[in-house]
Amino acid sequence: MEKPPRLTVDEYFDLIALIFACRGTCDRLRTATVIRDTDNILIAGGYNGALSGLSHCDDIGHLMVDNHCIRTNHGEENALLNCLDLSRIKNGVATIIGNPCYPCARKVLSKNIKRLRYIGTYHNPFGGDHVKELCDQKGVIMEFIDVSEVLKTLEKAINFLQGPGGAFRNLPKIMIKFEEGK
Ligand SMILES: [Zn+2]
Ligand SMILES: [Zn+2]
Ligand nearest to the CA of 61: 1
Domain boundaries, the chain: 9-162
Strand duo 32-36 + 93-97: pairing? antiparallel
22 CA to middle of ligand 1, Å? Answer: 15
pLDDT at 67: 94
- As a whole number of angstroms, the distance between CA 51 and CA 73 comes to 7
Averaged pLDDT, 62-75: 96
Instruction: List CB-based neighbours of ion ligand 1 within 5 Å.
Output: 26, 57, 62, 69, 71
Q: What is the reported pTM?
A: 0.94
Q: Is 72 exposed, middle or buried (0-12, 13-18, 19+ CB in 10 A)?
A: buried
Please say if the pLDDT value at position 182 is more than 90. no
Averaged pLDDT, 58-68: 96
* pLDDT tens digits, one per residue of 2-14: 789 999 999 999 9
Q: Which residues pair with 116 in a beta bridge?
A: 94, 142
Ligand nearest to the CA of 29: 1
pLDDT at 181: 73
pLDDT at 43: 98
The DSSP element (H or E) to which 137 belongs, if any, is helix 131-138
Name which CATH class applies to 9-162.
Answer: alpha beta
- As a whole number of angstroms, the distance between CA 53 and CA 35 comes to 25
